[in-house]
Protein backbone atom coordinates (compact mmCIF):
# COMPACT_ATOMS: atom_id res chain seq x y z
CA UNK A 1 0.00 0.00 0.00
CA UNK A 2 2.75 2.42 0.94
CA UNK A 3 4.66 1.73 -2.26
CA UNK A 4 1.53 2.20 -4.31
CA UNK A 5 1.15 5.70 -2.85
CA UNK A 6 4.53 6.77 -4.16
CA UNK A 7 5.04 8.16 -7.63
CA UNK A 8 7.41 6.51 -10.06
CA UNK A 9 9.96 9.28 -9.56
CA UNK A 10 9.80 8.85 -5.79
CA UNK A 11 10.29 5.10 -6.12
CA UNK A 12 13.31 5.61 -8.35
CA UNK A 13 14.79 8.08 -5.87
CA UNK A 14 14.49 5.48 -3.10
CA UNK A 15 16.07 2.90 -5.38
CA UNK A 16 18.99 5.20 -6.17
CA UNK A 17 19.60 5.82 -2.46
CA UNK A 18 19.83 2.07 -1.89
CA UNK A 19 22.36 1.52 -4.68
CA UNK A 20 25.75 0.41 -3.43
CA UNK A 21 28.10 -0.91 -6.08
CA UNK A 22 29.89 -3.09 -3.54
CA UNK A 23 26.71 -4.43 -1.95
CA UNK A 24 23.77 -4.18 -4.38
CA UNK A 25 21.45 -6.60 -2.57
CA UNK A 26 19.14 -4.03 -0.97
CA UNK A 27 18.70 -2.12 -4.23
CA UNK A 28 18.03 -5.29 -6.21
CA UNK A 29 15.48 -6.48 -3.66
CA UNK A 30 13.70 -3.14 -3.66
CA UNK A 31 13.77 -2.87 -7.45
CA UNK A 32 12.24 -6.33 -7.76
CA UNK A 33 9.48 -5.82 -5.20
CA UNK A 34 6.77 -5.38 -7.84
CA UNK A 35 6.32 -5.62 -11.56
CA UNK A 36 6.01 -1.83 -11.72
CA UNK A 37 9.31 -1.34 -9.90
CA UNK A 38 11.01 -3.96 -12.02
CA UNK A 39 9.96 -2.05 -15.12
CA UNK A 40 10.92 1.34 -13.65
CA UNK A 41 14.37 0.24 -12.52
CA UNK A 42 15.33 -2.21 -15.24
CA UNK A 43 18.00 -0.02 -16.80
CA UNK A 44 19.38 1.02 -13.42
CA UNK A 45 19.55 -2.57 -12.18
CA UNK A 46 21.38 -3.62 -15.31
CA UNK A 47 23.88 -0.79 -14.81
CA UNK A 48 24.27 -1.69 -11.13
CA UNK A 49 25.00 -5.29 -12.10
CA UNK A 50 27.62 -4.17 -14.61
CA UNK A 51 29.21 -1.82 -12.08
CA UNK A 52 29.27 -4.60 -9.48
CA UNK A 53 31.13 -6.86 -11.89
CA UNK A 54 33.59 -4.08 -12.71
CA UNK A 55 34.16 -3.37 -9.01
CA UNK A 56 34.73 -7.07 -8.39
CA UNK A 57 37.37 -7.14 -11.12
CA UNK A 58 39.00 -4.00 -9.71
CA UNK A 59 39.13 -5.64 -6.28
CA UNK A 60 40.79 -8.73 -7.75
CA UNK A 61 43.55 -6.52 -9.15
CA UNK A 62 44.21 -5.41 -5.55
CA UNK A 63 44.19 -8.97 -4.24
CA UNK A 64 40.67 -8.77 -2.81
CA UNK A 65 38.61 -11.87 -3.55
CA UNK A 66 35.20 -10.25 -3.32
CA UNK A 67 33.44 -6.91 -3.11
CA UNK A 68 32.74 -7.65 0.55
CA UNK A 69 36.46 -8.02 1.19
CA UNK A 70 37.14 -4.79 -0.66
CA UNK A 71 34.35 -2.98 1.20
CA UNK A 72 35.70 -4.03 4.59
CA UNK A 73 39.41 -3.57 3.87
CA UNK A 74 41.42 -1.09 5.92
CA UNK A 75 44.29 -0.98 3.42
CA UNK A 76 44.11 -1.42 -0.36
CA UNK A 77 46.83 -1.08 -2.96
CA UNK A 78 47.19 -1.44 -6.70
CA UNK A 79 50.81 -2.11 -7.62
CA UNK A 80 51.38 -1.93 -11.38
CA UNK A 81 48.16 -3.85 -11.94
CA UNK A 82 47.51 -2.41 -15.39
CA UNK A 83 44.69 -0.09 -14.33
CA UNK A 84 42.93 1.79 -17.10
CA UNK A 85 41.38 5.25 -17.22
CA UNK A 86 37.99 3.61 -16.54
CA UNK A 87 39.39 1.69 -13.56
CA UNK A 88 40.51 4.93 -11.91
CA UNK A 89 37.18 6.60 -12.63
CA UNK A 90 35.42 3.64 -11.00
CA UNK A 91 37.74 3.85 -8.01
CA UNK A 92 36.70 7.46 -7.58
CA UNK A 93 33.02 6.52 -7.50
CA UNK A 94 33.76 3.84 -4.91
CA UNK A 95 35.01 6.52 -2.52
CA UNK A 96 31.52 6.83 -1.04
CA UNK A 97 31.18 3.09 -0.29
CA UNK A 98 34.55 2.35 1.33
CA UNK A 99 33.87 3.47 4.90
CA UNK A 100 36.50 1.24 6.53
CA UNK A 101 39.41 2.12 4.24
CA UNK A 102 42.28 3.88 6.02
CA UNK A 103 45.21 3.47 3.61
CA UNK A 104 45.10 3.69 -0.18
CA UNK A 105 48.16 2.95 -2.31
CA UNK A 106 48.43 3.43 -6.05
CA UNK A 107 51.62 2.51 -7.90
CA UNK A 108 50.35 2.62 -11.44
CA UNK A 109 51.77 4.04 -14.63
CA UNK A 110 49.40 2.48 -17.14
CA UNK A 111 46.29 4.60 -16.69
CA UNK A 112 47.46 7.47 -18.88
CA UNK A 113 47.94 11.15 -18.09
CA UNK A 114 44.31 11.82 -17.17
CA UNK A 115 43.56 8.83 -14.94
CA UNK A 116 44.14 10.48 -11.56
CA UNK A 117 42.31 13.58 -12.73
CA UNK A 118 39.24 11.46 -13.47
CA UNK A 119 39.58 9.64 -10.14
CA UNK A 120 39.65 12.94 -8.25
CA UNK A 121 36.70 14.31 -10.22
CA UNK A 122 34.63 11.33 -9.05
CA UNK A 123 35.42 11.84 -5.36
CA UNK A 124 32.34 13.50 -3.92
CA UNK A 125 31.85 15.28 -0.61
CA UNK A 126 32.76 12.96 2.25
CA UNK A 127 34.37 10.36 -0.04
CA UNK A 128 36.95 8.06 1.57
CA UNK A 129 35.91 9.26 5.03
CA UNK A 130 38.39 7.16 7.05
CA UNK A 131 41.45 7.38 4.79
CA UNK A 132 44.46 8.78 6.64
CA UNK A 133 47.13 7.78 4.08
CA UNK A 134 47.00 8.31 0.31
CA UNK A 135 50.10 7.30 -1.61
CA UNK A 136 50.44 7.74 -5.37
CA UNK A 137 53.92 6.69 -6.43
CA UNK A 138 55.06 6.77 -10.04
CA UNK A 139 51.48 7.42 -11.12
CA UNK A 140 50.95 10.36 -13.46
CA UNK A 141 49.05 13.12 -11.66
CA UNK A 142 50.34 16.20 -13.46
CA UNK A 143 49.14 19.73 -12.93
CA UNK A 144 45.60 18.95 -14.08
CA UNK A 145 45.35 16.00 -11.69
CA UNK A 146 46.73 18.09 -8.82
CA UNK A 147 44.13 20.76 -9.51
CA UNK A 148 41.35 18.13 -9.61
CA UNK A 149 42.59 16.69 -6.31
CA UNK A 150 42.51 20.17 -4.78
CA UNK A 151 38.89 20.57 -5.88
CA UNK A 152 38.00 17.18 -4.40
CA UNK A 153 39.59 18.13 -1.08
CA UNK A 154 37.77 21.45 -1.05
CA UNK A 155 34.40 19.76 -1.53
CA UNK A 156 35.06 17.51 1.47
CA UNK A 157 36.72 14.35 0.17
CA UNK A 158 39.38 12.69 2.35
CA UNK A 159 38.42 14.69 5.45
CA UNK A 160 40.78 12.77 7.78
CA UNK A 161 43.85 12.71 5.55
CA UNK A 162 47.08 12.72 7.58
CA UNK A 163 49.70 11.62 5.05
CA UNK A 164 49.80 12.39 1.33
CA UNK A 165 52.66 11.05 -0.77
CA UNK A 166 52.87 12.10 -4.42
CA UNK A 167 56.33 10.90 -5.41
CA UNK A 168 57.25 10.97 -9.08
CA UNK A 169 53.82 12.11 -10.22
CA UNK A 170 54.80 14.86 -12.73
CA UNK A 171 53.45 17.74 -10.61
CA UNK A 172 54.98 21.08 -11.52
CA UNK A 173 54.70 24.55 -10.07
CA UNK A 174 51.23 25.15 -11.51
CA UNK A 175 49.95 21.94 -9.96
CA UNK A 176 51.36 22.68 -6.52
CA UNK A 177 50.09 26.28 -6.65
CA UNK A 178 46.60 24.84 -7.27
CA UNK A 179 46.94 22.15 -4.64
CA UNK A 180 48.64 24.14 -1.87
CA UNK A 181 45.60 26.03 -0.49
CA UNK A 182 43.62 22.79 -0.16
CA UNK A 183 46.54 21.09 1.59
CA UNK A 184 46.81 23.97 4.02
CA UNK A 185 43.16 23.55 4.94
CA UNK A 186 43.53 19.85 5.81
CA UNK A 187 43.18 19.85 9.61
CA UNK A 188 45.19 16.67 10.27
CA UNK A 189 47.95 16.67 7.60
CA UNK A 190 51.20 15.43 9.18
CA UNK A 191 53.19 14.10 6.23
CA UNK A 192 53.59 15.44 2.68
CA UNK A 193 55.77 13.80 0.06
CA UNK A 194 56.50 15.68 -3.18
CA UNK A 195 59.85 14.18 -4.15
CA UNK A 196 60.85 13.48 -7.75
CA UNK A 197 58.52 16.11 -9.21
CA UNK A 198 59.40 19.02 -11.55
CA UNK A 199 58.15 21.61 -9.09
CA UNK A 200 60.25 24.53 -7.95
CA UNK A 201 60.32 27.83 -6.16
CA UNK A 202 56.87 29.12 -7.11
CA UNK A 203 55.14 25.95 -5.97
CA UNK A 204 57.08 25.85 -2.70
CA UNK A 205 56.28 29.50 -1.99
CA UNK A 206 52.58 28.81 -2.49
CA UNK A 207 52.79 25.91 -0.05
CA UNK A 208 54.56 27.70 2.80
CA UNK A 209 53.56 31.33 2.28
CA UNK A 210 51.83 33.00 5.23
CA UNK A 211 48.04 33.29 5.13
CA UNK A 212 46.50 36.52 3.83
CA UNK A 213 46.38 39.44 6.28
CA UNK A 214 43.50 39.45 8.73
CA UNK A 215 40.49 41.22 7.29
CA UNK A 216 41.66 40.98 3.70
CA UNK A 217 38.67 39.97 1.57
CA UNK A 218 39.16 36.69 -0.33
CA UNK A 219 38.74 36.69 -4.11
CA UNK A 220 35.17 36.21 -5.33
CA UNK A 221 34.22 32.53 -5.26
CA UNK A 222 37.38 31.47 -3.40
CA UNK A 223 37.17 28.96 -0.52
CA UNK A 224 37.77 30.26 3.02
CA UNK A 225 41.36 31.40 3.69
CA UNK A 226 43.73 29.09 5.54
CA UNK A 227 43.77 29.57 9.31
CA UNK A 228 47.45 28.56 9.57
CA UNK A 229 50.35 27.25 7.55
CA UNK A 230 50.41 23.45 7.83
CA UNK A 231 50.30 23.62 11.60
CA UNK A 232 50.50 19.84 12.15
CA UNK A 233 52.92 18.95 9.36
CA UNK A 234 55.81 16.89 10.74
CA UNK A 235 57.44 15.52 7.57
CA UNK A 236 58.02 17.29 4.26
CA UNK A 237 59.76 15.52 1.37
CA UNK A 238 61.11 17.75 -1.40
CA UNK A 239 64.05 15.73 -2.69
CA UNK A 240 64.86 15.62 -6.40
CA UNK A 241 62.67 18.60 -7.21
CA UNK A 242 63.70 21.83 -8.99
CA UNK A 243 63.99 24.02 -5.89
CA UNK A 244 66.77 26.62 -6.12
CA UNK A 245 68.36 29.07 -3.68
CA UNK A 246 65.34 31.37 -4.04
CA UNK A 247 62.96 28.62 -2.93
CA UNK A 248 65.19 27.77 0.02
CA UNK A 249 65.22 31.44 1.02
CA UNK A 250 61.42 31.53 0.94
CA UNK A 251 61.24 28.35 3.03
CA UNK A 252 63.74 29.71 5.56
CA UNK A 253 61.74 32.93 5.83
CA UNK A 254 58.54 30.95 6.37
CA UNK A 255 60.16 28.92 9.13
CA UNK A 256 61.48 32.09 10.75
CA UNK A 257 57.97 33.56 10.67
CA UNK A 258 56.50 30.56 12.50
CA UNK A 259 55.13 28.54 9.59
CA UNK A 260 55.16 24.75 9.86
CA UNK A 261 55.49 24.85 13.67
CA UNK A 262 55.39 21.05 14.08
CA UNK A 263 57.96 20.23 11.37
CA UNK A 264 60.42 17.52 12.46
CA UNK A 265 61.86 16.12 9.21
CA UNK A 266 62.66 18.02 6.02
CA UNK A 267 64.23 16.35 2.98
CA UNK A 268 65.94 18.54 0.37
CA UNK A 269 68.28 16.01 -1.19
CA UNK A 270 69.44 16.32 -4.79
CA UNK A 271 67.90 19.69 -5.63
CA UNK A 272 69.59 22.49 -7.65
CA UNK A 273 69.86 24.77 -4.60
CA UNK A 274 73.34 25.29 -3.21
CA UNK A 275 74.49 23.57 -0.05
CA UNK A 276 74.68 26.96 1.66
CA UNK A 277 71.07 27.76 0.78
CA UNK A 278 69.85 24.41 2.02
CA UNK A 279 71.88 24.68 5.20
CA UNK A 280 70.28 28.08 5.85
CA UNK A 281 66.86 26.43 5.80
CA UNK A 282 67.81 24.10 8.62
CA UNK A 283 69.50 26.90 10.52
CA UNK A 284 66.17 28.77 10.52
CA UNK A 285 64.58 26.24 12.87
CA UNK A 286 66.51 24.27 15.46
CA UNK A 287 65.70 20.59 15.84
CA UNK A 288 64.56 19.76 12.30
CA UNK A 289 66.15 16.54 11.06
CA UNK A 290 67.96 17.26 7.83
CA UNK A 291 68.15 15.38 4.58
CA UNK A 292 70.41 17.80 2.72
CA UNK A 293 72.08 15.19 0.54
CA UNK A 294 74.18 15.99 -2.51
CA UNK A 295 73.83 18.68 -5.14
CA UNK A 296 71.62 17.88 -8.10
CA UNK A 297 73.86 17.05 -11.04
Domain ranges of the chain: 67-211+223-291
pLDDT at 12: 67
Tell me, letter by letter, the H, E, C secondary structure of 50-94: HHHHHHHHHHHHCCCCCHHHHHHCCEEEEECCCCCHHHHHHHHHH
What number of residues does the chain have?
297
Closest to 137 in 3D by CA, of 164, 175, 173: 164
> How far apart, in whole angstroms, are the C-alpha atoms of residue 194 and residue 92?
22
> How far apart, in whole angstroms, are the C-alpha atoms of residue 294 and residue 56?
46
Residue 28 · residue 48 · CB < 8 Å: yes
H helix runs in 34-191, sequence order: 35-40, 42-61, 67-72, 85-93, 115-121, 142-154, 173-184
CB burial string 134-161: b at 16+ within 10 A, e below: bbbbebbbbbbbbbbbbbbbeeebbbeb
Residue 102 CB-half CA count within 13 A: 1
CB atoms within 10 A of CB 70: 23
Q: How far is CA 214 from CA 218, 228, 244, in A?
A: 10, 12, 30
Report whether CATH 3.80.10.10 matches the domain 67-211+223-291: yes
Local confidence pLDDT in tens for the 297 residues of the chain: 455 556 666 766 776 777 788 887 777 677 777 777 777 777 888 888 898 999 999 999 999 999 999 999 999 999 999 999 999 999 999 999 999 999 999 998 767 789 999 999 999 999 999 999 999 999 999 999 999 999 999 999 999 999 999 999 999 999 999 999 999 999 999 999 999 999 999 999 999 985 555 555 655 555 444 346 799 999 999 999 999 999 999 999 999 998 999 999 999 999 999 999 999 999 999 899 986 544 333
Amino acid sequence: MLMAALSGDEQRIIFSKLCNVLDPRAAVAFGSASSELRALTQAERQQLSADFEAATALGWKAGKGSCKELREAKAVGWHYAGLSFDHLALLGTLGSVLPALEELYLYEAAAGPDGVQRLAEKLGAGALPAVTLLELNGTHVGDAGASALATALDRGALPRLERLHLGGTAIGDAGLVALAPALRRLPALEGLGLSRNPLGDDGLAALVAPPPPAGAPPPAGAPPPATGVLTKLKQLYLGRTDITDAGCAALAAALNSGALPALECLFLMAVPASMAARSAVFAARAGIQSGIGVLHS
